Amino acid sequence: MKTVTNLTAMFSITLLATLMTGCGGGGGSESSSPAPTATQTSTQPAATANTSTAANEPQQTEPAQTPEQEPAATMEDFMPQAELKESAATDSTDLYVMPDFKFRTSDEVTMEFSGENVFGESLAGRTIKVYSFDVEVPSVEDELMGNKALVATLRFNPSGQLQHTLTLPQTAKTMLVRVDSMLETNQVLFPLDSDETIVHTFK
């Protein structure tokens, strides 16, 4: 009976020793686990330093490109090519235009009028009306007189003179001047060819 009791005690002691040895190994395993964490922590400042260095480096920018200025046109740029003169233009790019060409749609006509009525009285203060026609009108008796367009209404000054410059459409071919007074001829037609000065004395 003693023998059995002794064996049981020895077995218990052996089992206890085994369990204590196992716990000691586990403790060693837990104590060694923080090592990788320490390694990772020590490498983080280096990464942060690299990021700060990259942020502090100056960024290179490309220089702005200056647009090239086109050379000023010269007289030679407007001269036509000899071969183009030998044939009719097919479109606007083939047309030759002089450098001093100015496109206009109107002409200026200067009028200088004076006169007196059938009683020898001055035309001072009398009304004068100016009309234009887009066609040539041969006489005041022509049926084309019905196509007149009123351009201006003016008056003679106190001296019986009138000086005025009108701007007429370039399409105007004839101008009619009519005076509100007792005259032998109180309306006169004037052909319009170009910029000019029209001088007339009414009677």
Give the pLDDT of residue 90. 77
- SS3 percent helix, strand, coil of the chain, rounded to 5, is 35, 25, 40
User: Beta 196-202 vs 106-115: how paired, if at all?
Assistant: parallel
Give the pLDDT of residue 101. 66
Domain assignment present for 48 = no
User: Model-level pTM?
Assistant: 0.51
With tokens 């005041």, the residue in question is 140
The number of domains in the chain is 1
CA distances from 46 to 29, 40, 111, 138 (A): 29, 11, 96, 105
Nearest residue to 155 via CA among 178, 190, 130, 125? 125
Domain assignment present for 14 = no
Q: Which domain holds residue 196?
A: 106-202
Domain assignment present for 196 = yes
Q: How high is the mean pLDDT in each 10-residue block of the chain (203 residues)?
A: 57 65 48 47 48 54 67 66 72 70 80 90 93 92 91 95 91 92 86 82 89
Domain assignment present for 189 = yes
Give the pLDDT of residue 62. 64
- For residue 78 the two structure tokens come to 């407007």
Domain assignment present for 30 = no
Domain assignment present for 62 = no
With tokens 């942020």, the residue in question is 55
Give the pLDDT of residue 104. 72
- For residue 10 the two structure tokens come to 């020895």
CATH number at residue 195: 2.60.40.10
Cα dihedral across residues 41, 47, 51, 52: positive or negative: positive
Domain assignment present for 85 = no
Domain assignment present for 76 = no
Give the pLDDT of residue 180. 87
